[in-house]
Structure 1
Amino acid sequence: MSRRSEAKKARRNKRRAAKNATWLPDEALEGLDERLDEVVAGLEEFDARLTERGWIFDVDFDDDVGVIWYWPPSAAEVEDPDEVTAATMVALIEAEGGEIAHVVLVGTDVDYQFGLDELFDYLDPIEGYRLGDPLPQFDTG
């Protein structure tokens, strides 16, 4: 066999191996589609619940990491915006599957974590917090 034929065969085998590594049975693919639809619907509902209260979705955030909403009334000038947040924010991190709402209050670097539904039980004190206020206490136990 010539070198050219060997190279062609090696490329074909490599393509087949890659295809086989990512192939899923139709049943599994249908299940994934349904799960994806559920996740998207859940995120759309979460976004709607936040934005109807006045939270702003941050379109400039790196969506490979996750998604962020911020609370405009909390915005303040902070000494070091690289160290602390300039507005209260809620983040969902892709690596966690978007299952945990991370809340960082303006002027802090403290990461409060809530379940997605649980977050809405605590939004009043989160939204009421302003730079310099005592940190709210969350009874999550």
Structure 2
Amino acid sequence: MSKQSASKQARRKKRQSTRNVNWLPDEVHAEVEAVGRLAGEILPRGWVFDDEYSNDEFLIWYYPPSGFESTEDDPRELVTRIWLSDPDHPQLILVGTEEDGSIYSLTVEQLLANLDAIEAYRVGDPAPQF
């Protein structure tokens, strides 16, 4: 290997080794950070990432303890769900909500402040006030 190509390779290796998460564009970095913050708060509390329904546009988590048994033709939501299409404005649908029912759009701070009430909600309870 020539001196010139060895020097070039060393510079390249140095550039690659100094890269970190900040090489992402600012808006992408902010989104990843926001999603990580939310996931870091809800996953230890028992929420489960829904890889079956999550896709390129939505990230979805559900809360298994909120679930209820229903009949096959019951149109209500079977578990409480949080989903993100915009990391700054998570959306929430409570267990037992009809297909055309209320979807709550919250800030991350509102969602986190109300997690106890959201997790305590069960079918037939009065809906929490946000």
Q: Which amino acid in the other structure matches residue 37 of structure 1?
A: H
Segment drifting more, 58-67 vs 127-136: 58-67
Residue 56 (structure 1) aligns with: 48
Any idea what SS the aligned residue of 2:125 has? coil
Matched-pair identity in %: 34
Is the counterpart of residue 90 in structure 1 residue 90 in structure 2?
A: no
Q: TM-score, normalised by structure 1?
A: 0.66
Of 61, 71, 81, which aligns to 1:69? Answer: 61
CA shift, 1:128, in A, is: 0.3
CA shift, 1:31, in A, is: 9.1
CA distance in 2, matches of 1:45, 1:89: 17
Residue 70 (structure 2) aligns with: 78
CA shift, 1:122, in A, is: 0.8
1:93-108 to structure 2, matched below 5 A, reads: 93=85, 97-108=86-97
Is the counterpart of residue 117 in structure 1 residue 106 in structure 2?
A: no
- Listed as ranges, the gaps of 5+ residues in structure 1 are 1-29
Q: TM-score, normalised by structure 2?
A: 0.71
**Which has the greater radius of gyration?**
1
**Contact preservation (8 Å) 1:102, 1:111:** yes
CA distance in 1, matches of 2:74, 2:52: 16
CA distance in 2, matches of 1:67, 1:98: 9
Residue 36 (structure 2) aligns with: 44
Of 115, 119, 122, which aligns to 1:130? Answer: 122
Aligned length: 106
Of 26, 30, 49, which aligns to 1:34? Answer: 26
RMSD of equivalent CA atoms: 2.2
Q: Which one has more relative contact order, counting CA pairs under 8 Å at least 6 apart?
A: 2
